Structure 1
């Protein structure tokens, strides 16, 4: 009967990063840390899947060129409208502050 060991989440992440980020071989890590090869392979696959999903989510969050252009044009139009309102208010203030002779 084989002994089943529960590893902490932090340990799994650390070992997985040794393989994925540092480029260490799964076989070497498996032998060094006495972790079954299949188990380590599942951890690595899970980590890569999570990384891929995170990257996809980041890509989906980015604006396309046309969306960015539309956003820029809307912001520019609002700025021009505000500048026009300020100019009107300045003229009105000037008119109301003139002394009546």
Structure 2
């Protein structure tokens, strides 16, 4: 029966890769761990150590186009609003004697 590695051992193996810059395959061979297991441990470790970092999001070209269109529409509305406010400011700051 194989004994499952504890969290301390997993962290040690991952630190060899992350902090010392060693290759996962080399560390895997030395510690008799598969590279895929070490990769999963590394992912889990990085999520625990850096939970505040946002995950990278990937968008399809159609999603990017839709977001661009939405932002352009919002920008046009803001420009119109800004022009109205400028005109109102000029109207109310004039002397009305």
With the shorter chain as reference, the TM-score category is 0.5 to 0.7
Gaps of 5+ in 1: 30-34, 53-57
| Bigger share in helix | 1
* Residue 19 (structure 1) shift: 5.5
Aligned to 2:76: 80
- The 1:51–1:67 alpha-carbon spacing in structure 2 relative to 1, beyond 3 Å, is farther
The structure with the larger Rg is 1
**1:20 is aligned to 2:20:** no
- The 1:14–1:82 alpha-carbon spacing in structure 2 relative to 1, beyond 3 Å, is closer
Question: Normalising to structure 2: TM-score of the pair?
Answer: 0.54
- The 1:85–1:76 alpha-carbon spacing in structure 2 relative to 1, beyond 3 Å, is same
- The 1:66–1:50 alpha-carbon spacing in structure 2 relative to 1, beyond 3 Å, is farther
Gaps of 5+ in 2: 44-54
- The 1:50–1:13 alpha-carbon spacing in structure 2 relative to 1, beyond 3 Å, is closer
- Give the superposed CA RMSD: 3.5
* Residue 14 (structure 1) shift: 5.2
